[in-house]
Amino acid sequence: MIKRFLYSQKVAPYVFVLPFVLVFAIFWVYPLISSFQMSFQKITLGQEAQYIGFDNYTKLMTDKTFLKAIGNSALYMVLTLVILIPFPMLFAVLINNRLMWGREFFKSSFFFPALTSVVVAGTIFRLMFGEMDGSLMNSILALFGVGPMKFLKEHTTGMIALLALATWRWTGVNMLYFLSGLKNIPDDYYEAASIDGASSFQKFMKITVPLLKPTSIYVLTISIYAGLAMFIESMMLWNGNNSPKNIGLTIVGYLYRQGIEKNNLGYAAAVGIVLLLITMIINLTQLAFTGLFKKED
């Protein structure tokens, strides 16, 4: 009986996908539903949760700190897109070029930062961007005669530090995505283009970029999500979740502050749902524009 069940062609596929479905249901669907429910509740330590309707959401709309967190996350996301898509693509093309010298060396050294722990990297970056005269960045600035700056206390310089950390860490990863995309482009196209007299730039614009589109869409999608959900980098850079004037506060950071630090899980759940909505809307729009939902020809 068991044998027939296991060998049945109809059942087998379900058995194989079952582990995934279970993991998905337990670790994604259940928490999602439960946080949706919690976002309409007031949860107090040691007491039954009370339903309070949309109170959490109406409070969010006027919560200046939350709006600041959204602003920070959005700005960070946009700037990481601007930096972390074109440059890795360019590097990938350069490294992919046969004439390039030391390709393996560059490949591994670009990728290396992704292997270090964010905790360690964040701490090092905090020291590099320290406000003391002797910190690395201030020593460099001193060479140009610029006075010491308090990098982690001002909005612009704080964002620069965050972006520096992100760029250092993710350039190599995105570059690898693009490199694997490049491997899929047949050499014939380039040869044909060469015969027709196309310049290198034309080949890049007319062959490489369009054929990298699937990879680009993938990188774009995960970058949007990663940008909006950034948290640990900020936490490590400011040695905690409370940066001066909240310049490093992100949406997830605010969720953490409300839910974990202030024991206000209902409100934090509402923050999480808003983050989910924002991410979904941006990504679905983006995917619709880039044609992911169109039927393949």
With CA atoms as reference, report the closest residue to 237 among 248, 225, 224: 248
Candidates 1, 7, 9, 47: give the one binding other proteins (CB under 8 A).
Answer: 47
* Least CB distance to other proteins at residue 260 (A): 5
Considering the rule CB under 8 A, would residue 232 count as an interface residue with other proteins?
yes
Block residue for tokens 């990863």: 173
Considering the rule CB under 8 A, would residue 214 count as an interface residue with other proteins?
no
Instruction: State the pairing for strand pair 50-51/41-42.
Output: antiparallel
Q: How many residues lie near other proteins (CB under 8 A)?
A: 37
Candidates 18, 240, 284, 291: give the one binding other proteins (CB under 8 A).
Answer: 240
Residue 229 near residue 280 (C-beta atoms within 8 A): no
| Three-class secondary structure of residue 99 per DSSP | coil
Considering the rule CB under 8 A, would residue 173 count as an interface residue with other proteins?
yes
DSSP for residue 47: S
Residue 83 near residue 163 (C-beta atoms within 8 A): yes
Residue 4 near residue 234 (C-beta atoms within 8 A): no
Considering the rule CB under 8 A, would residue 186 count as an interface residue with other proteins?
no
Candidates 64, 98, 294, 295: give the one binding other proteins (CB under 8 A).
Answer: 64
Considering the rule CB under 8 A, would residue 37 count as an interface residue with other proteins?
no
Where are the alpha helices (H) located in the chain, listed in sequence order?
2-7, 12-24, 30-38, 55-61, 64-84, 86-96, 103-115, 118-128, 136-143, 155-183, 187-195, 200-203, 209-211, 213-228, 232-237, 251-256, 265-289
Distance of CA 60 to the CA centre of its chain: 24
Considering the rule CB under 8 A, would residue 180 count as an interface residue with other proteins?
yes
CA–CA distance, 132 with 220 (Å, rounded to integer): 37
* Least CB distance to other proteins at residue 228 (A): 14
Show the site string, 243-272: x = touches other proteins by CB under 8 A, - = not: xxxx-------------xxxx-x-------
* Least CB distance to other proteins at residue 249 (A): 8
Looking at this protein, which amino acid is placed at residue 20? F
Considering the rule CB under 8 A, would residue 21 count as an interface residue with other proteins?
no
In the region spanning residues 96 to 115, those forming contacts with other proteins, defined by CB under 8 A, are 114
* Least CB distance to other proteins at residue 289 (A): 25
Candidates 34, 199, 242, 285: give the one binding other proteins (CB under 8 A).
Answer: 242
Residues that bind other proteins (CB under 8 A): 44-47, 59, 62-65, 114, 117-119, 130-132, 150, 153, 173, 176-177, 179-180, 183, 232, 240-246, 260-263, 265
